[in-house]
Amino acid sequence: MSEVSVSQVAQSQINVLERIPILVILGLLVFLIFARTGESVHGQMAKLGQFFWEDYFSLRTDIPAPTCNPDPDIEARLDQLERKAESELDDLISEEFDRRAARQSLESLIQLCRQEHAVAENYNSRVTSGVKLFRAIEHKFSQASIFATAQQQLFLVLLLFVAAGVATWKRHHIAFRPMISVMDHRVSTFLQLLANGSLALSSWVFRDTTFSSSIAVSNPMIINTLVAGSSVMTILSAWQLFNPPRDAPPGGSVQHALLAVPLYTYAMLAFAFVVFFRHSHLAGLSIYFSAFFENAGTYLDVALYLWCGMLLKQTQLGERVFSVFTPWKLPPELLAFVAIAVIAVPTAYTGASAIIILAMGAVTYRELRKVGARRQLALAATAMSGSSGIVLKPCLIVVIIAILNKEVVTDDLFYWGTRVFMLTLAVFFIYALVTKQDKLSVARTSEALPVSLGNAGALIPYVATFVIMAVLYATVLNAYLDQFSAPIILPVIIAAIIVFERKLSKAQPIYHDPERMVGVRSAVTKSMSDASIHVGGLLMMMSTFVIMMGLGGKAMSATFLAEFSSVYTVMAMLMVMLVVIGMFMESMAAAGLVSLTIAPIAYQQGIDPIHFWMTCLVALELGYLSPPVALSHIFTRQVVGEEEAMLASREGHKFYYRHERLLLPLLVMGTTLLLVGFGPLLYGYQ
């Protein structure tokens, strides 16, 4: 066999091995959708069964077969009872056996027995093969739903480590910079080895301590999976340490290498140092890490939303939406305003700004660049594209806040969130006008309107597909698209859009994206391949932030706010604290930490709960856009590419335009935060 053919066989084997974890992740997510949909299917099937079979609810379960004899020999039974009564008599009891009363009692029991047999016979005559088949299917959906709910934590730990393994194998964890040089790979993988090894060591100690205890272990599968997953991650890092990519350029700088270290690695190492050396508790790291699985349903929703984002990336919906506005030849600043307004809607449905940046960031950046937007402005708009929509219905973060805080409900949060969203857009529009470099002009209506309407017509099938699928869910399954059902309905709807594009649509592609696959199967496969990497990177980062919430919840205190009598001073201090939290923590962990440590003190100091959480959401988003971490900018850099980011850093003849990607989001969200935080206080709303 030739060298080339041997290499081809080896590569095909690697490709097969790479597909296995992706298929596992796909299987887990599809089963989650099936199982959660099973709740609605089960309810609708029960109603349908009642429609076809009268009193179906009594036929859904088997009744016990009667064990009594409906036609006994009464005289023989009476003789038996009489003999038993005589044998039990003693000298003190002179009462004789009352045969007549015993006969009446026996006849009553026989009558009841015959009624039981009649009911069973009637039941068996009505339970036809059709009923048995129908209720068996209904029970399967019910069992799948119950199983999925009971095993959510196991699903999450499996999903976390399988996806994190994929992200590690692909060297695609979330970091400030990608790994490029040999030094980047050496430093990054060495520190990952230390971080993963620390978690593995802690997990083994935790397992030994738990299983050697006299108390029964309630979740042995989760503990064993935690041990296995962290151990495999350690082995992967060790292998990569000695096997850097062959095409990696030699050399490199220590500064760039440290920036290429995944964020979860820094967090894990810091927490390991605190727990191992300061607390002298080897099992403590895995105990804090395991708290991530307590809110398994929420993080499984994150994985489903990420898959939605990657499915959306396989559609042309983004380009077609932008094509409605490009005929007007809007100035780049106004098109950036439009982009932020439009992308706020999918942001609300996909649950977080990170997800929509990963899904739509490349399209947003590309469309802005096509109309001549400077790179710094395009990067700023892309990073901000997911920020304003997190206050809109049915955003997952708002739902989490309402769950954790009984003082607020989702309806009120979304009501005021819409107004905060409009305020953010207005502030961005003002700054866009102030910082524009060219004259504010648009194309003539006679030229732009026909083209714009024609392009808008291409969106009708997309809207129709969305509406048809949503109506089908509502009518057939009685499941409506809201903040609770969105994670399981949206993947199916977007998959239907992919089928429409590949099988039914005759429209020509607007843009030939090499990342967009031609066939339905290849598009779904590609979406899952991308999702597996992002799920692993994002969930691994979120898990370490949960450790921060556990340790920070004990260390952080906002009780000092009680010393201030001025509500304005309290609000100013709150805004600073919330922005700092947003700089270093992911939104869901931040919401949990704020709910535990800061929100109760804010309420006591006279801050209205709705006002507080609107301020909190804006402050957190400002934190995500603020150095030194700036998560939104990190995600933007990932989807745009290192080359574009480097070119952008060399643009601009003035200070503002050289740093616009950072300054514009800070100005917009900072101004919005001041207005949201202090505006209601000045107006007397507290």
pLDDT digits (tens, 9 = 90+) for 235-283: 999 999 999 998 899 988 999 999 999 999 999 999 999 999 988 999 9
Q: Which two tokens stand for residue 675?
A: 């207005």
CB 622 within 8 Å of CB 670: yes
CA dihedral 320, 324, 330, 331 (to 10 degrees): -20
121: pLDDT confidence band, cut at 50, 70 and 90?
confident
From CA 314, how far away is CA 519, in angstroms rounded? Answer: 10
E strands, 60-175, are: none
From CA 523, how far away is CA 312, in angstroms rounded? Answer: 10
pLDDT digits (tens, 9 = 90+) for 166-219: 999 999 999 999 999 999 999 999 999 999 999 999 999 999 999 887 777 778
Q: Which two tokens stand for residue 277?
A: 């050396």
Which amino acid is it at 274? Answer: V
Residues 6+ apart with CB under 8 A from 195: 264, 265, 268, 269, 272
pTM: 0.83
pLDDT at 181: 93
| Nearest alpha-carbon partner for 617 in 672, 667, 567, 562 | 672
From CA 361, how far away is CA 358, in angstroms rounded? Answer: 6
The helix/strand/coil state of 652 is: coil
Model confidence at 454: pLDDT above 70? yes
What count of residues does the chain have? 686
pLDDT digits (tens, 9 = 90+) for 533-577: 999 998 999 898 888 776 665 556 677 887 888 899 999 999 999
Average the pLDDT over 484-488 and give the result: 86
- For helices 353-370 and 296-313, the axis angle rounded to 10 degrees is 20
Whose tokens are 């999702």? That residue is 531
pLDDT at 451: 93
CB 416 within 8 Å of CB 368: no
CA R_g for the chain = 32
DSSP state of 248: S
From CA 442, how far away is CA 554, in angstroms rounded? Answer: 56
Number of DSSP helices (H) and strands (E) in the chain, helices first: 30, 0
From CA 169, how far away is CA 357, in angstroms rounded? Answer: 23
| Nearest alpha-carbon partner for 546 in 586, 582, 599 | 586
E strands, 408-561, are: none
